[in-house]
Amino acid sequence: MGIDLTDVNKVYQSGEVEVHALKNASLHIADKSVVVILGPSGSGKSTLLNVIGGIDRYESGTIKVEGQTLHELKDKMLTEYRRHTLGFIFQQYNLIPTLTVYENVEVGRHLSENPLNMQDTLEKVGMWDKKDKFPFQLSGGEQQRVAIARALVKNPKILMCDEPTGALDEETGKKILTLLKYVNETYGTTVCIITHNHGIGEMAHSVIRMKSGEIVENYQNETPVHPE
Binding region for ligand ADP (CB under 6 A): 12, 14, 19, 21, 39, 41-47, 100, 102-103, 118-119, 131-132
Q: How far is the CB of 153 from ligand ADP (least distance, A)?
A: 10
Q: Which is nearer to ligand ADP, 47 or 155 (CB)?
A: 47
Helix ranges (H only) for the chain are 45-52, 75-84, 101-111, 118-124, 140-152, 170-187
Phi-psi category of 49—alpha, beta or left, where left has phi over 0 and alpha has psi -120 to 50? alpha
Q: How far is the CB of 103 from ligand ADP (least distance, A)?
A: 6
Shortest reach from residue 52's CB to ligand ADP, in Å: 12
Minimum distance, C-beta of residue 131 to ligand ADP, in the bound complex (Å): 5
Cross-sheet strand order for the sheet of 68-69: 17-29, 3-14, 60-65, 68-69
> Between 115 and 227, whose beta carbon lies closer to ligand ADP?
115
Nearer to ligand ADP, 131 or 157 (CB): 131
Output the smallest distance, CB 46 to ligand ADP, in A: 3
Q: From CA 105, how far away is CA 110, in angstroms rounded?
A: 9
Q: How many whole angstroms separate alpha carbon 37 and alpha carbon 90?
A: 14
Instruction: Indicate the residue among 42 and 199 with the shorter CB distance to ligand ADP.
Output: 42
Of 106 and 185, nearer to ligand ADP (C-beta) is: 106
Amino acid, res. 159: L
Residue 58 CB-density burial (10 A; 0-12 exposed, 13-18 middle, 19+ buried): buried
Nearer to ligand ADP, 34 or 49 (CB): 49
Q: How far is the CB of 34 from ligand ADP (least distance, A)?
A: 19
Residue 81, Cβ neighbours under 10 Å: how many?
A: 17
